[in-house]
Amino acid sequence: MALATLSEVLQPALKDGYAVGGLVCLGWEDMRAYTTAAEAEGLPVILQAGPSCRKHTPLPVLGKMFRHLAESVSVPVVAHLDHGYTIDECREAIESGFTSVMFDGSRKPLAENIAETAEIAALAHASGVSCEGEIGFVGYAAGDNSLGTDPEEAAQFARETGVDAMAISVGNVHLQQNKEGGLDEARIRAIESITDVPLVIHGGSGVPLEQRTKLARTTNIAKFNIGTELRMVFGTALRAAVDADADRFDRVGILSEVEEPIVEAARRVLRGLAPA
């Protein structure tokens, strides 16, 4: 069994100069493909259940799916709740076998974000589970604009919450389909100069590949969340499988042709964050 907590995979990454892929899952086919990719590359992986995933699959079911996949490989696999918005949701994830929870209080005033994140971090740690928090709101493509992370507030947040990882807003955007954004490296350096908590980039699909690799190896960014990039591969492969035969209706046969392209795409993502 290779089930691991977030801290167990991020601390070695921070120490040795690489990052771990937080791969956003929507269903069985992609989470199985991500685990297969991690095993093939010999690298850890973080399987993430975000709001879209939880919308149609309950947390207790997702917990069992993640743990089953972790037991099937030799590399570390983290079962991670992404963007939990309430203490009840985070508690349910912990009770469902998740090894890591991310509480997103980034829209709240600083003091409220710190207080609620600290409460959830304490709850998680009491159960041997890791906790990620977010300081500075990461916006959405064609949606709410980002509010950049203030380095001094980040240091206070890390110090007072006790989180194991800290998501920051440094030019990254959720659901970005191109890789033209780039990250504010000066702000990243300013943040890491006053706190040693592993840093997390949400919206990693929009970050140029070369910059991902560079920052993984030269900064305290130890986790890149990748979702849209892999969803696009899934959608393209699914469309091709369906269009190949207009009379086809067997979902098992169709989906069996989708998994290999996702495995290859996930392997490229993980390799791009690996040690030099």
Active site residues: 82
Strand 221-226 to strand 199-201: parallel, antiparallel, or no bridges (unpaired)?
Answer: parallel
Tell me the C-alpha distance between 66 and 61, whole Å. Answer: 9
What is the signed CA dihedral for 52, 57, 58, 59, rounded to 10 degrees?
Answer: -60
The answer for residues whose C-beta is within 8 angstroms of residue 31's C-beta and 6 or more apart is 25, 47, 65, 66, 69
Pull the structure tokens for residue 33. 């493909």
Q: Are 174 and 142 in contact (CB under 8 A)?
A: no
Residue (of 126, 40, 27, 43) closest to 77 by Cα position: 43
